[in-house]
Structure formats: C-alpha cells, structure tokens
Amino acid sequence: VAPWAYGCLAAYMFFLILTGFPVNFLTLYVTIEHKKLRTPLNYILLNLAIADLFMVFGGFTTTMYTSLHGYFVFGRLGCNLEGFFATLGGEMGLWSLVVLAIERWMVVCKPVSNFRFGENHAIMGVAFTWVMACSCAVPPLVGWSRYIPEGMQCSCGVDYYTRAPGINNESFVIYMFIVHFFIPLVVIFFCYGRLVCTVKEAAAQQQESETTQRAEREVTRMVIIMVIAFLICWLPYAGVAWYIFTHQGSEFGPVFMTLPAFF
C-alpha cells in the first residue's frame, strides 16, 4: 500500500473525530441540561449519540494513530479491544435506527390500540440495542469468529476473510448478515413504509389541506433520508464482506477491503 493511502486514511479519521465528537457530545450535553428535551422519544437519540462516541474513541482515534504508523501497533489484545468497541458502537447505532423506526411506527400508526409510549418503553428500546450490539461484538472474543486486522491492517474487525478450522467464521458471518443486516433492513422498510401510508391516508381524509400536504411531504422526505442513510452506512460494508466471504481464495486489494468499513 502506498504511503499516501495511509495519510489519506489518517486524515479521514481525523475529519470524523473532528465532526463526530462535538456533534454527539453537544447532543448529550444539551439534552441533559434542558429538561424539556429529556423525553422518552429522545432516549434512543441519546443512545445513538453514545454509540457514535464509542466509534470516535474506540475506533476512529485508534485507526488514525495506527495509520500514521502504517500497521496495527497495539498487538493482539489491542486488536480485540479496538474490534470490540468499534463493532459495539456500530451495532448500537444500527439497532438504534431500528428502534427509532419501530417507535415512530408505534406512535404514529398505533398498531396497538390505547398504546401510550412512555419512559419504560424507551428504556426497553435502549436496553434492546445494547443486547443486540453485544450479541454481535462479544462472540468473536469467546471463540465464535475472531477479530483480526482488516484491509490496510490499521483497524480490526470480524474475520470474514478466512475459514480457519475451529473459528466457525462461516456460521458467524451468515448470522451477522441475516440478524444484523437483513432483519434490520426489513424492519426499517416495513415501519417507515407503514408510516408513509398512514400519513397519506390521514391526509386524504382531510381533503388534502395545505397543512396535511406539508406534513405528508415532511414525513416522506424524512423516511427517504432515513432509509438512504441506513443503506449508505451498512450496504457497502455488508456487501463487500459477503462478497469476500463467498469468494474465498480470490485476490482482494487492501484498499478495496478497507473503504466500506468507514461509511
């Protein structure tokens, strides 16, 4: 790998730290300082900010430092720690988006009659994201797959490159693809799809007034942004990981294997 590639990687990590830390820290600070913002529906947004901070400190900072050296300098233990915290933060972010979609669907579409979204529901949603994130980040530490330096060897992630005996990579990659990508994708599409349909039906019943038309446009735009953001964040990594996993023995450049991880 050319030296300039490591420089670009370090610069990109610095950019993510420079933008990610202030935004997410301010989100936490402002919400904690202002009581009006501490509503149950905002709990999952706070959880998403915490997930992003995990990525900043557990992933981006480490990768920036190691890319300046041209290889992962922290050894096996450091690889496990970096891989764990980066995976935990990424998965918390993913499942926070899923819970956010479910909460909006429950509040707007009211699939359960007489349902009122409260603090207990919000706490359950946050706890669910941690459970699902741990169900992905912990197994490689205890023998189901493993964390190894990936791509340009400056960060660590789940081993989807090899089929080493005793590691059980095949079953873990299949589990990750189904449970931690395909199912969240289906849930998000379903919830936001129903949300758009419900808003359109409500608008039709009110003779398409200017207010309902504006609300319909805003909801539709929000749904499109959320779905596209999810696909941009996760489709490149999941697609490349699955392609490499199903084409064992083929030659893949380190840059090709590195780029999707930083979407």
Contacts of 67 (CB under 8 A, 6+ apart): 6, 7, 9, 10, 13, 152, 154
Residue tagged 């300098």 (tokens): 73
- Asked if 212 and 203 touch (Cβ cutoff 8 Å), the reply is yes
Residue tagged 């095949």 (tokens): 170
Residue set of the binding site: 170, 248
Q: How far apart are CA 86 and CA 170, in angstroms?
A: 21
Q: Is the dihedral of CA 206, 211, 215, 221 positive or negative?
A: positive
Q: How far apart are CA 47 and CA 128, in angstroms?
A: 11
Q: How far apart are CA 235 and CA 229, in angstroms?
A: 10
DSSP 39-83: -HHHHHHHHHHHHHHHHIIIIIHHHHHHHHHTS--SHHHHHHHHH
Residue set of the binding site for Zn(2+): 170, 248
